[in-house]
A = this chain, B = another copy of it.
Amino acid sequence: MVETYGHHHAAGYHHEDDKKTGWWDACIGPGKAIDTSKFFVVALNNIGGCSGSTGPTSPNPENENRPYGPDFPLVTVRDWVKTQALLSDRLGIDVWYSIIGGSLGGMQALQWSVDYPDRLQKCVIIASAPKLSAQNIAFNEVARQSILSDPDFHNGRYLELDSYPKRGLILARMVGHITYLSEEAMKQKFGRDLKSGKFMYGFDVEFQVESYLRYQGEQFSRNFDANTYLIMTKALDYFDPSREYEQSLTKALSNTKCRFLVVSFTTDWRFSPERSQEIVNALITNQKPVSYLDIDAEQGHDSFLFPIPLYVKSLRAFLGGIEHLHSTPKEAL
């Protein structure tokens, strides 16, 4: 199972309206790192989202079918993993061959290994962290405040009022976007290039990087629900599998039974390699089987979305075990 990141459309084209492939198409497909010619891959849409599952834009039967909006309850990574276990029951899958996720998806994979130790054989945690740092929370708070302070947010009831906090969402996404990219990637992509080739000395877009961020922010604001954005950032902030284990990650991971692959990227400053290493150290302290790779990559946090050769190879090698699968036919990826 591939843990998601906003949308269940993780790879390929599935509908004639699909304008692009899924968000992780670089790594999922026939012959790719997560090889669909070997494995059956399940990618889902989490509750609270805005692209399929019930979320703040869904009708609330307890309020005359108006959109839930701000009445939609907050959800945690633990809640998501619980709903995913219920989905597994429904699909008749007792044990997953592997649970795989990057970033917030990696947190879900980690939580699976803690909450359902008997229900997965392999756990892949990519570009993730055992909990957010104060700096991570601070950036999320700026994004939330951008939305909450937009007059068009109307305390979250914008849909009922035919309004939309577009400016807040654009700002939130701009802040987020900067943290996804490495300083080096930004330098290579934009440098200090000017959009028009010369200085305008004004507040219109001048540098290429400004133009890019505004464009990305506007695109995002058209397709994402503001209440969902708030819920997602809070799920990130609250995530801490050690909370029920006296704040000890080592204790939290002591009952895990799967094999782990942990991957970080050298230029990822949102969830730096040190954060992945906290997970690895806690596993080693518990004498759990873990492989760890810090991949040399220039794309910052976004690196996990790219088919970087060593990363692809390690993922493929770790998943390998097709023979093993044949011997336990009840299991599926």
Chain A residues close to B by CB (< 8 Å): 74, 131-135, 137-139, 141-142, 144-146, 148-149, 151, 167, 170-171, 174-175, 178, 181, 183, 186-187, 189-192, 199, 201-203, 206-207, 209-210, 213-214, 230, 234, 237-238, 240, 269
A209 touches B146 (CB 8 A): no
- Min Cβ gap A129→B in Å is 12
The one of B142, B149, B214, B230 in contact with A145, judged by C-beta atoms closer than 8 angstroms, is B214
- Min Cβ gap A56→B in Å is 13
B74 touches A142 (CB 8 A): no
- Min Cβ gap A268→B in Å is 13
A134 touches B189 (CB 8 A): yes
- Min Cβ gap A299→B in Å is 14
- Min Cβ gap A21→B in Å is 27
- Min Cβ gap A228→B in Å is 13
Query: What copy number does this chain have within its complex?
Result: 2
Q: Tell me the bound Cα distance from A151 to B139 in angstroms.
A: 23
- Residue of A133, A144, A151 ringed by the most chain B CB atoms within 10 A: A133
B209 touches A134 (CB 8 A): yes
The one of B178, B192, B203 in contact with A132, judged by C-beta atoms closer than 8 angstroms, is B192
- Min Cβ gap A125→B in Å is 20
Q: Tell me the bound Cα distance from A120 to B206 in angstroms.
A: 34
Identify the 9 closest CB pairs spanning chains A and B, nearest first: A134-B186, A149-B167, A141-B210, A134-B190, A134-B209, A135-B183, A142-B174, A74-B201, A138-B178
**Which B residues are in CB contact (< 8 Å) with A186?**
133-135, 138
A207 touches B237 (CB 8 A): yes
**Which B residues are in CB contact (< 8 Å) with A133?**
183, 186-187, 192
A145 touches B170 (CB 8 A): yes
Q: Tell me the bound Cα distance from A159 to B144 in angstroms.
A: 28
- Min Cβ gap A242→B in Å is 11
Q: Tell me the bound Cα distance from A230 to B201 in angstroms.
A: 11
